[in-house]
Every structure is written in C-alpha cells, then in structure tokens.
Structure 1
C-alpha cells in the first residue's frame, strides 16, 4: 500500500479502538437500552473491516486470522445454545434464566440475557468478518484497465 495515505492510516488506527470500545458498551448495556448482541457484533466487525479496507486484507488477517474468525462463529453459537441447555439440565425450560440465581429471578434474568447476547455478539462478529474476508479475498475478474 502506498505511503501517501498517512492521514487515513493514523485516523483509522485511532478510530478502531474507539469503535471496539463502543461495541463493548452496546454489548453490556443492550438489555437496558436499545442495542445488544447483534448491534455490538456488527459494530465490532466494522472495526476489523475498516482496518482491512485501509491497511489491506493481509494486514487485518494478521490481527484476526481467518481460523480465529471461524472459531468465533462456533463459539458464539455454543455460548448461546449452552446457556439454554444449562437451564434444561437444572430443570428449567430452554433459555429460562431462573436457573442462574433461583433465589432472585431478576438477577438470573439479567445474567441469562447477558450470556445470550454475548453469544449473539460473538457469532455476528465472526460471520460479518468472515463475509468480508470472503469478498475481499476473491480475485477480481476485471483488471483496472477494463473499467
């Protein structure tokens, strides 16, 4: 990549951390305000996609390798499903969060929603980044002169 994009590179490096921090904010406050796992997952993926657009696919894959992205997708599904299965093992319905704190159901609801939203956020981040890797990694059929 050419070095004449210095301002774009510096701004991107400063924005990526802020975007990731905002994604965590949306993730952990999703049950109290609009937002949650899906929105946080997309925002988190945007940080990596922006980094990849500015610095190139090879550089973003050094930061977040493709094998890690595929593991994130599976991990998020396991967290989501595991939350429900855990409830079933303890005698509750699937995704009935009372098993987390049977003495105080509202605390259990909060914990359960947090786990489920974490699973959704991890999965969405992995899927969005995997889609970006798939599109950015393909070889173009048209050369620059063909446009």
Structure 2
C-alpha cells in the first residue's frame, strides 16, 4: 500500500471532523475560548489540507476561488451591518442590547453575528491567500 493512498484515505475520514470542530469552536466562542477567528482558521486549514492532498485543480474545481474572494467583503458586511443596526435604533455602534427586546438575548445575537462575520472573513482571506501563493508558484 502506498503512503499517499493512506494519507488520502485518512484525510477523507478526518476532514469532516475538522470542519465539525471548526463549527464547534465558532458557536462555543461566546461561552468559552474560541470564536470566529479560530474557527475560520480551522475551517481554512481543512480546505488547505484538502488542496494539498488532492491537488490544486480538484480543489479549485470543488471550491472556486471566486467564492472565497466574495467571502472576505461578505464577512466585513455582516460585521458592519450588525453595528449599523445598533446605530439605527439609537444605540452606540456594536451595542448588542439593541438587537433584541431583552439585553441578554441581544448580547448573544450580537456576539454570534460578529463572530460569524469574522469567521467568514478569515476563511475567505486565508484560502484566497493560499490559492494566490499556489497560483504564483505554478508560473
């Protein structure tokens, strides 16, 4: 049995668990260590591992670069809109109390929204940078 076959099979098994762990870190971020940045890096690492194992052509076919280039401003937009909602309700920018009738619920909604924006931006930027380096290396 060739070593690369063993690595491919084990990667196929572990990749879903890596992505699941990224979502765990994302949604556990307002209760403990973790959050959008860490989860975004873990998720991006899973995509980068996929690319290293299966090759750039297959990875760019399965995950088009345009998606990741779109994710960077989308995450910033989510972050900004969360703050603008607070401003539109007469509160300070990113004052989460404005996001729900009860301030405690607003805090949870706001943290999840901000962390989601960071998560999306980090995935987009990390994978875009990786694909840019790989494309530059092919020239």
C-alpha displacement at 1:140, in angstroms?
5.3
Mapped to 2, the partners of 1:59 and 1:123 lie a distance apart of 23
Between the aligned partners of 2:13 and 2:62, the Cα distance in structure 1 is: 16
Name the residue aligned to 1:52: 51
Partner of 2:128: 130
Q: TM-score, normalised by structure 1?
A: 0.89
Max Rg structure: 1
| Aligned residue number for residue 16 of structure 1 | 15
Preserved contact between residue 37 and residue 122 of structure 2 (Cα < 8 Å) = yes
Q: Distance in 2 between the 1:132 and 1:47 partners?
A: 12
Alignment of 1:23-62 (within 5 A): 23-62=22-61
**TM-score, with length taken from structure 2:** 0.94
Counterpart Cα distance in 1 of 2:103 and 2:63? 38
Query: RMSD of the TM alignment (CA)?
Result: 1.4
2:76 maps to 1:84:
no
Measure, in 2, the Cα distance between the counterparts of 1:117 and 1:4: 39
More helix by share: 2
Gaps of at least 5 residues in structure 1 are: 142-147
Name the counterpart of 1:118: 116
User: Per-residue deviation at 1:99?
Assistant: 1.3
Give distance in 1, aligned partners of 2:31 and 2:10. 31
Equivalent residues, number = 138
Unaligned runs of 5+ in 2: none
- The residue that corresponds to 1:144 in the other structure is none
